[in-house]
Amino acid sequence: MASLVAADAKQETAGGVSEGSIPVYSSLRPVHGHDAEELAAADARYEGLALEFLQAYGAPPVLFVRSPGRVNLIGEHIDYEGYSVLPMAIRQDTIVAVRKRPDDGSAPSLRIANVNSKKYPAVVFPADPSQEVDRGNHSWANYFVCGYKGVWEHLERLKASGKEDVEVPTPASLDVMVDGIVPTGAGLSSSAAIVCASAGAVMAAHGLNFSQTDMAELCCKCERHIGTQSGGMDQAISIMAKPGVALLIDFNPVRATDVALPEGGTFVIANSLTESNKAETAAVNYNMRVVECRLAAMVLGLRLGLPKQEVYAINTLGEIEDMLSAAAPGLGGEGPLPAVEAHLKPEPYVAEELEELLGEKLETIMKSSPTSLAVLAAAKHFALYKRAKHVFSEKERVYAFRDTAARAQSSSGASFSSDQVLEDLGQLMNESHASCSELYECSCKELEELVGVCRKNGAIGSRLTGAGWGGCTVSLVRDGHVAGFIESLKEDFYKSRVERGLIKEGDLESVVFASKPAGGAAIFRFDH
């Protein structure tokens, strides 16, 4: 292949690609910029992926789709409750190379391989959109199947909505090669990166291109096939991110608003080296919190005076706030945090207690959700007060973060300094971490140690990011201190881990790094 950066950057608009769709490029420059070092590294990576593909399948890929990981700056565990979040994309991404395989008379199939074949062995699945994802088999390739199913499910939804011009193509055999550099289990959304890139590859290989909002929503829905009750933040930022800005992401429907971050600060991501696998621990961690929030919403619904049958249909705390805003008679229009203090007890509830309140078995109420039933089978108690208090307070911090960042963009006559803006943003991050740790209980001792080290070494604000129970921290650091800050982390946190053999010194650059906001999903078609 010729150099992938040599051609002039252009975005294709033919073949059904419209404004707001996933961009299609013939050069790496629109995504990787004009920095010679970064372009050379990206060029080598795509060339290497193409060569691996050729060696595996005897033919080159037709196109590549990349989708990035993300770091959530603030707004943890509230997207699935219907509330806005504020993430940014990072430069680490997943690339999927793909081609449609010519019909050879055999049953259509999906041949899926990975450049890291030792860790992620090749797998073959039928080219059947109706196949179920085997949740009992935690194969890495299940994430590709999620993305594959998502494309066809979206097409069927479009047809069912009465859109007469929707044509569902015949599923073709595909050859696929994946190269992911988003750290797994780090809270940087490696799962969404592969699901989004996979769905994009399936879509593009069949000559389709959906809108970014449709892609974000379909990827959120289809990742749930893996067994986690995702709220949509990870998929939305991976698809819709823009270079240079964070995004305030709203849901139902998905919408994204640019949030320009103040000058003078850089975000540093640091991996605690403790892996948290959302899918494998869902019943006791991630999905457990989803169920606790739903139960908290139901109990508050009872206090609103709703009939029990209506209470059983409540799914999120966001729905309860809408009722409070309407000055429901049971609560007199009080706000959500006062409602939590007044109507949820601080101590955990047991199942029998909730069943007496709700007048029904929890298993009966949640019978339509297998993942919720798995939670009920594993749970011994439910901390409704803590979970609801976190969600409602974290929602307020997201808007405070947005408004504080906007102050830096206001007129020069303002009575505050950019340094004060950074300090205020850092304080919000610190408050968010405390809430995640104490109320949502999604931290761990390694994250607590790392946050402490970050603050001791000059972070303006530092917090866990992602689902938690391991993974990464994100810290706001003044631009001039970034290099020294990273070196201090290597000495104070990572040195002992190197000595214990948890990580090699040569790999530290991949676990602690600075990042400015990166761009979102893109399709590449290069001239061979």
Catalytic residue among 234, 250, 258, 492: 234
Stretch (H or E) spanning 432: helix 418-438
DSSP secondary structure letters along 14-60: -TT--TTBPPEESSSHHHHTT-HHHHHHHHHHHHHHHHHHHHHHSS-
Q: Tell me how far apart the alpha carbons of residues 324 and 330 are, in angstroms, rounded to a whole number.
A: 9
In this prediction, residue 323 carries a pLDDT of: 77
In this prediction, residue 283 carries a pLDDT of: 62
Closest CA to 236 of 188, 196, 183, 191: 196
Rg (CA), the chain: 23
In this prediction, residue 522 carries a pLDDT of: 96
Question: What's the average pLDDT block by block, 10 residues per block, for the chain (528 residues)?
Answer: 43 42 93 86 95 96 96 94 94 96 88 95 93 85 91 90 80 95 85 94 93 91 77 88 93 88 93 78 78 96 88 92 65 76 96 95 93 90 97 97 87 62 97 98 96 98 93 95 97 97 93 92 86
Q: CA distances (Å), 117 to each of 46, 52, 310, in order?
A: 17, 10, 50
In this prediction, residue 280 carries a pLDDT of: 61
Q: What residue spans define the domains of the chain?
A: 61-261+517-523, 286-344+349-382
In this prediction, residue 229 carries a pLDDT of: 63
* In 241-316, alpha helices (H): 286-303, 308-312
Does the annotation count 492 as an active-site position? no
Rounded (10°) angle between helices 384-407 and 286-303 = 100
Longest dimension (CA), the chain: 73
In this prediction, residue 232 carries a pLDDT of: 81
Q: Tell me how far apart the alpha carbons of residues 109 and 126 are, in angstroms, rounded to a whole number.
A: 4
Strand pairing class (246-250; 86-100): unpaired
Q: Tell me how far apart the alpha carbons of residues 22 and 15 are, in angstroms, rounded to a whole number.
A: 12
Residue length, the chain?
528
CATH 3.90.950.20 given to domain 61-261+517-523: no
In this prediction, residue 313 carries a pLDDT of: 92
Spatial CB neighbours of 338, under 8 Å, sequence gap ≥ 6:
none
Contact call for residues 254 and 241 (beta carbons, < 8 A) = no
Q: Tell me how far apart the alpha carbons of residues 2 and 279 are, in angstroms, rounded to a whole number.
A: 40
The tokens for 414 are: 């303002």
Q: Tell me how far apart the alpha carbons of residues 189 and 181 are, in angstroms, rounded to a whole number.
A: 11
Strand pairing class (86-100; 63-74): antiparallel
In this prediction, residue 9 carries a pLDDT of: 39
DSSP secondary structure letters along 434-495: HHHHHTS----HHHHHHHHHHHHTT-SEEEEESS-SSSEEEEEEEGGGHHHHHHHHIIIIIH
Task: Please give the sequence-ordered ranges of beta strands (E in DSSP) within 115-194, or none if there are none.
Answer: 123-126, 174-180
The tokens for 275 are: 């892996």
In this prediction, residue 18 carries a pLDDT of: 40
In this prediction, residue 269 carries a pLDDT of: 96
Spatial CB neighbours of 304, under 8 Å, sequence gap ≥ 6:
320, 323, 324, 328, 329, 330, 331
In this prediction, residue 139 carries a pLDDT of: 86
In degrees, to the nearest 5, what angle opens at C-alpha 294 toward C-alphas 313 and 364? 55
Instruction: Work out the end-to-end distance of the chain between its first and last CA atoms, rounded to an integer number of angstroms.
Output: 5
Contact call for residues 41 and 397 (beta carbons, < 8 A) = no
